[in-house]
Structure 1
Amino acid sequence: MTKGARRAYKTGLSRGVIVEAALGLTAERGLDGWSMRDLTGRLDTSLSVIYHHVGDRQQVSAAVIDRIYGAMDLRLDEPDWRTLLHGILSQIIDQMSRYPGTATWLLRNGPQTEQLVPSLDAGMSRMLEAGWGAEAAIAFSVAFNTCLGMIALGDQRASAAGEQGMTGLQTLLAAQPEPGPGAQEMLRMVRRYVAGPAERDAAHREQCRYALDRMLDGMADRLDVIKRAAG
């Protein structure tokens, strides 16, 4: 390229192509692990093209969340509130665990993406029909945010610092001269988190699903209380 000549960037890109590239970067590095410059480099384009088709960094991140959520196989016509919530939140656990940082983004920014609206409306509607009344919104939010928090915790554990923390706990427990049954059982769980990425991811998703099931158990008990109080 001669001095003063302008680089010929790709301009014939669509919104879908840009979001797909951002999704790929997120799977590889996490949502906070890449920059707009990384995205332009992958696409061999300019920032102005990305701004034109998608928007700024925040809007690109929202589009990534939308793409992940839109790919979920949700059954929003399910009439039972608990079954519906379990289906939605299980899909969130399975899909967002594949894209580090996306759960943290949602916790930080809230459900600001279009694809989230239908499941939010369906979940809330089933809960109102079941008798949750004025507690429906806060109960739904707590369930949603609890699952996101568990996924975000898994993202942190997958980082170098998180791995060091779990390795340290394993060393501490294994060094006990006469560990009791509780310490031994905890050690068995911790070893899954330091065995390797595949085993760690499986262990974390199992923990997330356990938390989801127990949370829904508690919500069902609370709904019984609400119904009894209503007579």
Structure 2
Amino acid sequence: MSTPVRERAPITRSVVVTAALDLTRRRGLSGWTMRDLAAAVGARANVIRYHVGNRADVEAAVVAEVCAAISLPDGGAWADWIRLLAARMRETVARYPGVGRAVATGSGPAAPLLEAVVAELDRAGFAAESELAAHAVLVETCLSRGDGLEFLIAGLTARLTRLRREVSTGDRANHRGSGPWHG
């Protein structure tokens, strides 16, 4: 009587990325190698490259999955929206050591998060400063452990108050290039 052969699940991009997420959760984004990942899926490294690509491609896929797991808040005041998004980002990113640095760049797979923050800040009235402020939100949320987000929100609130006052008095032209983002 022969021993039954256990069939392995087919290796797909999803299987590889899921294994990379698991390794990242346990060891951090830089704490595993392509060989470790290949061993985790029961294949050779060339199979990983075939399904996902090189190390940078695998890392980008991990960051994309982590970013996709962060749900955007629904409506509300802009500062509350930022606080809620920051809490969700911190909670999610904390489970994947090393991913926060990639998310903080706001580029590549993290670009949709940056775009969402820019859109929210535009909606609040920051227009010209939205992209820079959005980058500051991502960096502060992902890389800081202090109260920096509250200081950032306080600064943005003060800036928005000034912008609204300038618009209502027609004084905007006199204040271009001033404020927290212009030194």
TM-score class, shorter-chain normalisation, is 0.7 to 0.9
Write the mapping of 1:167-206 to structure 2, written as runs, cut at 5 A. none
Q: Percent same amino acid at aligned positions?
A: 30
The amino acid across from 2:162 in the alignment is V
Amino acid at match of 1:23: L
Shift of 1:222: 1.6
- 1:26 Cα offset (Å): 0.8
Specify the alignment match of 2:65 in structure 1. 67
Partner of 1:111: 107
Name structure 1 gaps, 5 residues minimum: 1-9, 151-206
* TM-score, structure 2 as length reference: 0.78
Encode CA deviations 1:27-84: one digit per residue, 9 max, x unaligned.
Answer: 1111011110110111111222212221111111111111112222332x41532222
1:6-25 counterparts in 2 under 5 A? 12-25=10-23
Of 20, 23, 28, 1:30 maps to 28
Deviations 1:93-148 (A, max 9, x none): 111112111112334x54211x651x433322222122112111111111111222
In structure 2, the residue corresponding to 1:106 is in which secondary structure? helix
- Structure 1 position 133 matched with structure 2 position 100: no
2:67–2:103 Cα contact (<8 Å) kept: no
* C-alpha RMSD of matched pairs (Å): 2.1
1:45–1:54 CA distance, 2 compared to 1 (3 A): same
1:13 partner SS: coil
Structure with greater helix share of residues: 1
Q: What SS does structure 1 have at the residue aligned with 2:43?
A: coil
Q: Is 2:148 the partner of 1:211?
A: yes
Aligned to 2:163: 226
Provide the aligned length of Structure 1 versus Structure 2: 161
Give 2:72's aligned amino acid: L
Structure 1 residue 90 and structure 2 residue 87: aligned? yes
Q: Is the 8 A contact 1:79 1:126 kept in 2?
A: no
Q: Residues 27, 112 of structure 1: CA spacing in aligned structure 2 closer, same or farther, 3 A cutoff? A: same
Secondary structure of residue in 1 paired with 2:108: coil
**Residue type at the aligned position of 1:214:** F
